[in-house]
Structure 1
Amino acid sequence: MTQTVFCRKYQQELEALPFPPLPGKKGQEIQASVSKQAWEEWQALQTRLINEKHLSLLDPEARAYLNDQMERFLDNRETDRAEGYVPPAQ
């Protein structure tokens, strides 16, 4: 049986993450309040932001920026867009 969670992004019960996506308390909070679908969508946006903005995850400012963007995305607030990104044709 699939575990579900009330997703803070989609405001409905959806499939839960099988394990915390980050270490520590933050990862546990995300697992308890973010669906698998929302987390996968965040990972896609995060990848685009890293690539398009040439971010280095070794840079503390880049990590803080991505953490802020993650919170904004999961709370349905406006996030930065990757300039030049063209979604694939459906």
Structure 2
Amino acid sequence: MSRTVFCRKYQEELEGLERAPYPGPIGENIYETISKKAWQDWLSHQTMLINEKHLNMMDASSREYLKQEMQKFFAGEDYDKAEGYVPPVEKE
């Protein structure tokens, strides 16, 4: 049986992550309070931010920006979105 967590993002019991996605206290907090669904949603949003804002992941300020946006995303605060971004349409 998979473990469940009370997801901070979606405010309900959902399937939890299999392991901490980050090292240290941030990773442990995510592991304990963020669902697998919320983490996958964040990864999609993070990829969009990296691509649309042309972030360089070798740059410490870009990594710090993403960490701050991740915290806002999971807390339900107003987080950054790429202006004019239109998600791809899924083919049926």
Smaller-chain TM-score bracket? over 0.9
Measure the CA separation in 2 of the matches of 1:77 and 1:28.
Answer: 21
Root-mean-square deviation (Å) = 1.1
CA distance in 1 between partners of 2:51 and 2:38 (Å): 20
Task: State the distance in 2 between where 1:30 and 1:20 align.
Answer: 7
Query: Would you say 1:29 and 2:18 are equivalent positions?
Result: no
Q: Work out whether 1:3 is the aligned partner of 2:3.
A: yes
Listed as ranges, the gaps of 5+ residues in structure 2 are none
Distance in 1 between the 2:83 and 2:58 partners? Answer: 22
Distance 1:86 1:38 in 2: 20
Q: In the alignment, is residue 18 of structure 1 matched against residue 8 of structure 2?
A: no
The equivalences for 1:50-69 within 5 A come to 50-69=50-69
- Report the secondary structure of 1:49's partner residue: helix
AA partner of residue 5 (structure 2)? V
Using structure 2 for the length normalisation, give the TM-score: 0.91
Which residue is 1:49 aligned to?
Answer: 49
Identity %: 51
Q: How many residues align?
A: 90
Letter in 1 for 2:19: F
Q: After TM superposition, where is structure 1 displaced by more than 2 Å over at least 4 residues in a row?
A: none
TM-score, normalised via structure 1 length: 0.93
